[in-house]
Amino acid sequence: MIVVTGGAGFIGSAFVWKLNQQGLDNIIIVDELSDSEKWKNLVGLKYADYIHKDDFIQLISEDMSFNVDAIIHMGACSATTETDGDYLMENNYKYTQILADWAIENDAYFMYASSAATYGDGENGFEDDVSFLDKLKPINRYGYSKHLFDLYAERNQLWDNVVGLKFFNVFGPNEHHKESMRSVMCKAYPQVLKEGEMHLFKSYNKAYKDGEQKRDFIYIKDVINIMWWLFENRKVTGLYNVGTGGAKSWNDVANAMFKAINKPSVITYIDMPEQLRGQYQYFTEAPMSKLTSAGCPVVCQSLEASISDYIHGYLSTDTLLT
């Protein structure tokens, strides 16, 4: 049995889709649906059962009666603007700690979601070498909650038994429910299509012109291909960046979107909200040599090809990975 926490969420549901494509449906979805629209990500997926995340952690503590071969732990609060530190510590850090300890004790494969937010403003680089973990300084509560488990894994020497994934800027189908945390591609598409204009944040760092802030954008299909390779090659363990290895600017994103819909680029730079300015990452780029050296053969699509596929295959048709 494969457990996918956050299985109704963005990356979780996409990986369940990938498992289904590989003929696997012996899957337990663990999530919390409440009033979110993410239930739509489950429509069309094949899985054995759904368990609320609170019930699942209770089952873990009572020693589950069913056999679990693998836990793919994608469940977390991923809002970089979340201000409830206690909630993040319980939901992101402690929950992951309990699952990892249980998986190791019960000889189950354990893959979990870390984040590029753990790197903070990037002053100490973006290397996924665990010997650098103590140098990292996250700049928001979300990043810190993710960083804490990476530190826990290092302190307790768990790397031979777990796989941690530092996701960079992931975008693509199945993110519709994330509201303010959706990718700019997802949020801007209706405006670009209707008004022929795209809004980007002004830069408040003299080193970057407006729209030239850079991120490592990776398409969800490339992400799940990397995850599937790791899932198949279970001897490969440790902490890894998941990005393309090449940073692109927000202007590049805008130009790729306009090109995909065959319209001229029209970009307006708007003020960044005050609450974001102190925790904004102006540059992220994922060194991918560690994962490549481990043997991962996945080659990521270009930003232009990814955005074109997203728009024409999903956004324009309101389609999901189901």
Which residues are part of the catalytic machinery? 142, 178
Quickly count: other Cβ atoms within 10 Å of residue 171's Cβ: 21
Q: Is 162 exposed, middle or buried (0-12, 13-18, 19+ CB in 10 A)?
A: buried
Q: Which residue has the tokens 């700019």?
A: 184
Q: Give dist(CA 231, CA 72) in Å, integer.
A: 9
Q: Give dist(CA 193, CA 172) in Å, integer.
A: 17
Q: Give dist(CA 191, CA 11) in Å, integer.
A: 25
* Cβ atoms 79, 181 nearer than 8 A: yes
CA dihedral for 130, 114, 181, 91, sign (positive or negative): negative
Q: Give dist(CA 306, CA 196) in Å, integer.
A: 20
* Cβ atoms 66, 1 nearer than 8 A: yes
Q: Give dist(CA 60, CA 213) in Å, integer.
A: 43
Q: Give dist(CA 306, CA 299) in Å, integer.
A: 12
Q: Give dist(CA 128, CA 126) in Å, integer.
A: 6
